Amino acid sequence: MKYWLLKTEPDTFSFSDLMKRRSEMWDGVRNFQARNFMMEMEVGDLCLIYHSGKERGVVGVAQIVKSAYPDPTDSSGRWVCVDVAPVKELTFLSLNEMNSMEGLGELLLFRQSRLSVMPVTKEQFEIILQK
């Protein structure tokens, strides 16, 4: 099993929106590195859902329920999407809090803050869940 962090703008699509649905297509990713990460995702992988914008923090956990397939919002055929389902809501953990937590110093989010899809280690995932 692999672990991921997926960023979303809560004004566009929030974790509470995902909680209202059984599953949802995670589409619209237009960055090659993020796309390549999405192509590595497998059914059962767990994802931290991170609200970007004003809130900036982890708000929930989701699970990959369908691995990468062509993004229907893309006419070029270069981009993929995955389907995710909500697992559980988390107590909000802000970016500032994460930045000060031991064991998260190598989190890719701190080095590539604009990347919308990124891997996290099992250890990083567990540290965030413990908060």
Structure pTM? 0.96
The pLDDT of 12-19, averaged and rounded, is 96
Q: What is the pLDDT of residue 96?
A: 96
Per the prediction, the chain carries an average pLDDT of 97
All structural domains of the chain, each given as residue ranges with its CATH number in brackets, are 3-130 (3.10.590.10)
Mean pLDDT to the nearest integer, 28-50: 98
User: Per-residue pLDDT averaged across 48-62, rounded?
Assistant: 96
Higher-confidence position of 55 and 6: 6
Instruction: Bin 94: left if φ > 0, else alpha if -120 < ψ < 50, else beta.
Output: beta
Mean pLDDT of 27-40: 98
Per-residue pLDDT at 131: 81
